[in-house]
Amino acid sequence: MLALIRTALNKTNNINRSTYLWNAINAGLSAALCPVILMVMNRTNGVYDAGVFSIAFAVAALMLFVGQYGLRRYQSSDIHEKYSFPEYHGMRFLTCGAMLIASAAYCFYGVFMRDYTLDKFLVILLICLLKEVQAYADVIHGHMQQKGRLDVAAKASAVRFLAELVSCCVALIITHNLLIASAVCLLTSVAVLLLTTVNAARDYCGSLRPSLSRWACRQLLIDGFPLFASLFLNMYISNAPKYAIDQYLNDEVQAYFNYIFMPAFAIQLIAYFIFNPILTTYARLWLSEKQEDLKKLRSLMRRQCVVLLGLTALAVLVALTIGIPVLSFLFGVDLKGYRNDLCLLMVGGGLMAYGVFFNYVITIIREQKYLLISYGLTFLAAKALAGFFVVHYGITGAVILYTVLMGVLAVMLAIVTVWKVRAHRAEIEKGAE
């Protein structure tokens, strides 16, 4: 059985076509996971549980970046293999341990400082553990991408997301119990991880025995810290409105905000997966030190920016026309009056996608320190403004806050990207003289 699964994961007639196809499927399933579960939950359990699940998913998404430590992009673009897979693997054990501690700490903070019920405590902890599975799988998938088989990683990840989605929805329909559904989803995810990702790893990773080399761990901590900090802060910034609602308002308001926020969150998830395949290509072009390769890289970057602009315009158009009726139907609630908020969120989602793209480029050119500065400044703005906007303007304030933060971040990262690419072009031209 295990051999048949490996054969199915590896089978392809065209690796490049398979990579883009399965990466798109993976992105779609990842983006659909939370909204589809919310659709089912709203009908089986009601708005309150939907609000609890929404904040649980937001917290877990934040904790995921502790587990990944921002190293997927670094690992995937490490084409000269500065660090071996056992070293990346060993580092992932450490960061997943830190993720577990941070998740538990947040849950206890919620109990003592925000009056979380026991059920809410356990649901958040279980969803964080669900993301822990994703954090671990990520290091194996990163090595597959290094070896030119991102398609295998995308297949394994897509199967796991689909299994999580189906198992959680079926459990909700049968039990009407969010806690039981979360536990079933977690157990299913672990089982599929072992059958797909861990099973396929033997074809690419050799031994799964991690290396805890003191030198490698220390260097990876240093090299990865700006990436981790920027991604962690980015997720906090993206979810700052949700955390403010959780602190100042209630779970019902949280649910309604998440209903209209889902399309923007889907853009965010899809952006991460769409940009994954470009990492190795962009890294090779950047490191070649040839004028024609840098010119090709700049052309690809401009093309990507145009594509993002078109997708953002399309998202706003959909939000303006059929967005609210579709969301109202899907979630089974009346969302009339939120059309302007939804359109503004689509603009914010597009700006966020630009931020993600420039983040990838800055990572590839190894200028991570500027990520830390940009995200740090935006984080401070989020902390200073979140409470004011949410308390005084409710959901509309949360929408404005999100869009403004995404815009500020995208502009800062764009400035850094253009500056560094131009500087690199000047160095190459000078060396060619």
Same domain, 254 and 207: no
Q: How far apart are CA 285 and CA 425, in angstroms?
A: 12
Mean pLDDT confidence for 21-46: 83
Within a domain: residue 54? yes
How confident is the model at residue 433, as a pLDDT? 57
Q: 59: domain range?
A: 1-212
Same domain, 203 and 263: no
Within a domain: residue 419? yes
How confident is the model at residue 360, as a pLDDT? 80
Q: How far apart are CA 348 and CA 158, in angstroms?
A: 27
**Residue with tokens 């302007």, as numbered in its chain:** 340
Residue 432 has pLDDT above 90, yes or no: no
Same domain, 430 and 310: yes
Mean pLDDT confidence for 132-154: 87
Within a domain: residue 224? no
Residue 368 has pLDDT above 80, yes or no: no
Same domain, 279 and 421: yes
Q: How far apart are CA 323 and CA 308, in angstroms?
A: 19
Residue 288 backbone phi and psi in degrees, to 5: -70, -25
Same domain, 130 and 191: yes
CA neighbor of 360 nearest in space, from 322, 290, 413, 310:
413
- Summarised one tens digit per residue, pLDDT across range 291-318 is 777 788 788 788 888 888 888 888 889 8
Same domain, 238 and 192: no
Within a domain: residue 222? no
Q: How far apart are CA 349 and CA 239, in angstroms?
A: 12
- CB 99 within 8 Å of CB 228: no
Written as six digits, the tokens of 293 are 């390769």
% the chain with pLDDT above 70:
94
Question: With bands split at pLDDT 50, 70 and 90, how would you rate the model's confidence at 431?
Answer: low
- CB 35 within 8 Å of CB 255: no
Q: Is 289 helix (H, G, I), strand (E, B) or coil?
A: coil
Same domain, 173 and 308: no
DSSP state of 249: S
CA neighbor of 27 nearest in space, from 207, 121, 173, 161:
161
Q: How far apart are CA 193 and CA 29, in angstroms?
A: 16
Within a domain: residue 220? no
Residue 357 has pLDDT above 70, yes or no: yes
Q: How far apart are CA 25 and CA 27, in angstroms?
A: 5
Same domain, 242 and 167: no
Within a domain: residue 15? yes
DSSP assignments along 338-383, one per residue: -HHHHHHHHHHHHHHHHHHHHHHHHHHTT-HHHHHHHHHHHHHHHH
- Greatest Cα pair distance, the chain, in angstroms, is 72
Within a domain: residue 219? no
**How would you class 132 by CB atoms within 10 Å of its CB: exposed for 0-12, middle for 13-18, buried for 19 or more?**
buried
Q: What is the pTM of this model?
A: 0.73
CA neighbor of 403 nearest in space, from 296, 264, 279:
264
- Summarised one tens digit per residue, pLDDT across range 187-197 is 999 999 999 98
Q: What is the mean pLDDT of the chain?
A: 83
Same domain, 121 and 246: no
The total domain count for the chain is 2
Same domain, 141 and 254: no
Residue 406 has pLDDT above 80, yes or no: yes
Same domain, 193 and 275: no
- Summarised one tens digit per residue, pLDDT across range 92-128 is 999 999 999 999 999 898 888 877 888 889 999 999 9
